Amino acid sequence: MKKLIVANWKLNPLRETDAIRLARVSDRDHTVICPPFVFLESVGKTLRRAKLGAQDAFWKESGPYTGEASPVQLKRLGVSYALIGHSSRRTELRETDAMINKKIRAALRAGLKVILCVGEPWNVRRKGLPAAKSFVRTQLQKDLAGIRTAKPTARNLIVAYEPIWAIGTGRADAPHDTIEISKFIKNLLAARYSLRAAKVLYGGSMTSRNAKSFVQYKEIDGALVGGASLKAEEIRTIISIATQQNGNR
Ligand code: 13P
């Protein structure tokens, strides 16, 4: 399976010229760029090889919903992927699993590919991997409840495992633990949703230095990169490490 690198710029950069410059250096095959909403159009026009991703998508197509972005509008703008359920939205904006479930359905209906973000906080992980698995299983069960009607497939539903304690802390997960959780997620998706061969990405303090230690394994299908995706040299190196893995299989 080809490795996928997803760049989540979060609320960066401040200027459009910087966004375009960053888009140019990240514009490679098997890469998804998720700029802030305000730069989707200009970054979309810049990209030739990478796909465009949104950092969120609302659950309604249109209507009286101030400040939201409709999945249908996003699709028409040229967006291919949507991050749903990122931990910063779950924690800072109190986004619930029920809201995430509605967003996934609406995004799939609109023809977007969903990158569903899951992951446990440190107070869970410190109890060990079984506790982390149980936390992630509950998130997936709630987020994907009744989802079959939205016709998820291994091509349009990707899971990003992002342990919250690893995000932006410089403290990435241990790759062997990520492999175990990734296998657990893949088995769950296959057993409950008949999603065989769905991609599972890793996210959390990935850098050019640790990227290979994750993406070299067949169980880890790529990465969701935050901070390092804002530095030209870092993201270029991470993409090329992932591309080398693609060449090896
Ligand atoms: P960092 O790579 O900055 O830890 O962020 C990860 C993340 O949240 C990507 O969605």
Tell me, yes or no, if 68 is annotated catalytic.
no
Pocket test for ligand 1, best of 5, 10, 178 (most atoms within 8 A of CB): 10
For ligand 1, is residue 229 a contact (CB within 6 Å)?
no
pLDDT at 246: 87
Architecture of domain 4-247: Alpha-Beta Barrel (3.20)
Question: Quick one: three-class SS letters along 207-238?
Answer: CCCCHHHHHCCCCCCEEEECHHHHCHHHHHHH
Rg (CA), the chain: 17
Q: What is the mean pLDDT of the chain?
A: 96
Residue 8: pLDDT band with limits 50, 70, 90:
very high
Given the residues 30, 41, 61, 86, select the one marked as catalytic.
86
Q: Tell me the domain boundaries of the chain.
A: 4-247
* pLDDT tens readout for residues 21-34: 999 999 999 999 99
Tell me, yes or no, if 162 is annotated catalytic.
yes
For ligand 1, is residue 162 a contact (CB within 6 Å)?
yes
pLDDT at 90: 98
* pLDDT tens readout for residues 183-242: 999 999 999 888 888 999 999 999 999 999 999 999 999 999 999 999 999 999 999 999
* pLDDT tens readout for residues 53-84: 999 999 999 999 999 999 999 999 999 999 99
